[in-house]
Amino acid sequence: MLATEVLNHLAYDPGVAPAEGGLPGLAVLKQVVSSINLFAVIATVGALCVAGIVWAWGHHTGSHGAEAKGKQGALVAAGVALLLGAANGLVAFFSALGTQVK
């Protein structure tokens, strides 16, 4: 087998692409994932509130460890909120980027 034949064989495009309507239950799956995302956003709001309370309690009691953990929790909650909000955009961006790979 020639080297070009091997490369052509390895570069075979299977022709697979995401398509809606291929399987039953796609609408239900989208609804379930959207509900999970909403649940995570609500949990993140709760985590941010708890982190803010710990931060304030640590500050007012002079507990530098609690204050640091409250700040850390607030930053983590903010990062999680950013990721949850950007989830669709991130997946779409990297999916589109992946289609450009040849």
Domain-embedded: residue 47:
yes
Q: What is the pLDDT of residues 8-34, one digit of tens each?
A: 566 677 777 788 877 888 889 999 999
Domain-embedded: residue 21:
no
Domain-embedded: residue 23:
no
Domain-embedded: residue 10:
no
Domain-embedded: residue 92:
yes
Domain-embedded: residue 18:
no
Domain-embedded: residue 12:
no
Q: How sure is the predictor about 100, in pLDDT bands with cuts at 50, 70 and 90?
A: confident
DSSP state of 62: T
Question: What is the count of structural domains for the chain?
Answer: 1
Q: What is the pLDDT of residues 72-94, one digit of tens each?
A: 999 999 999 999 999 999 999 99
Domain-embedded: residue 91:
yes
pLDDT at 2: 60
Supply the range of the domain harboring residue 58: 28-99
pLDDT at 6 over 60: no
Closest CA to 79 of 48, 58, 53, 39: 48
Give me the percent of the chain exceeding a pLDDT of 70. 88
d(C-alpha 9, C-alpha 7), whole Å: 5
